[in-house]
Amino acid sequence: MPFLELQIMNYKIRMITLPKITFFLNLNSLKIKKHMTYQGVLQKMQTELANPIQYYLVFEDSFLNVNQLLGKEIELEFQGYQCLNCNKQKKIFRQGFCYDCFMSSPAVGDWIMRPELSTAHLDIEDRDLEYEKRVQLQPHIVYLALSSEVKVGVTRKTQVPTRWIDQGAVQAVPIVEVPNRYLAGITEIALKNHFVDKTSWQKMLKNEVLHADLSEERKKTFGWLPKEVQPYFSEEATLYNLEFPVLQYPKKIIGLNLDKTPLYTGKVMGIKGQYLLFEDGTVFNIRSYEGYVVKMSV
């Protein structure tokens, strides 16, 4: 059968010719899949306090409102590493840093995870006193949060409410605001005798949250505070309620490991903390894979 073949954009169209009759293929009948691709170094999602919380993945040349992925299938491909500190293509050791940077950078000193070890208020250097003064000698909040059960934690005032969002807390309330990280750290140590200091991430992702009145729990804390911190306690505090964009919580959880599974495809059903939740129960902790170079196709 005679035909002509035309090239329209990236698609070949065949035009069949018969005597005195010409049939055109209806372009509207073509099912053309359009994919958007995002590529770059993973860093923790940026957030915006709203109902629900808005999430953004920011790459070097583009950004993505992750909420728009809800109910959609995405493909995630691991392509390599890039240290967030030195920018070299070296294997990530921890917290987005290669081994050498993790062992030397002041941004990951022991006082980050253990604020009671802060010494900048004494003019004592850990790795870089100028950096440590800049971070440690600023207002810090000691708080109670509810993500699985009532936990106590510490964050810089500038990280409210980001810290609570990253933890997947559905509620949070400040206990005290203190002028440096050391005072926050010794307060957290004192309150660990009464509250946990870690989130059960599995329960958080399943939305298995213990019912508790954080305002009432906060009132109990005054007598447990170190003497030097008690003057910073206020009778009133704002209770924060946080709503996450989740269509369906997983019943069984499977953690996605990019080193073992470099290519994964799944339908996004929710975002909580720094996790993407997929329809098949797979969860992906973006914070744990900072410094990984990925390609995401939507």
Express each pLDDT in 9-33 by its tens digit: 444 444 444 444 343 444 444 444 5
The per-residue pLDDT for 35 is 76
Predicted pLDDT at 88:
97
pLDDT in tens, 204-219: 999 999 999 999 999 9
Could you give phi then psi for residue 26, rounded to 5 degrees?
Answer: -70, 115
Whole-angstrom distance, CA of residue 127 vs CA of residue 272? 34
Query: Which residues of the chain fall below pLDDT 50?
Result: 1-32
- Whole-angstrom Cα distance, residue 62 to residue 222? 47
Q: CA 166 to CA 145: how far, in whole Å?
A: 11
Closest Cα partner for 210 from 143, 146, 145, 163?
146
pLDDT value of position 271: 98
Are the CB atoms for 180 and 118 separated by under 8 Å?
Answer: yes
Write the CA distances from 199 to 89, 97, 144, 207, 273, integer angstroms: 32, 23, 12, 12, 11
- Report the alpha-carbon distance of residue 79 to residue 295 in Å, rounded: 7
Q: What residues have CB less than 8 Å from 57, skipping those under 6 apart? A: 38, 42, 45, 46, 63, 64, 66, 286, 296
What pLDDT is stored for residue 33 in this prediction?
Answer: 53
pTM for the whole structure:
0.86
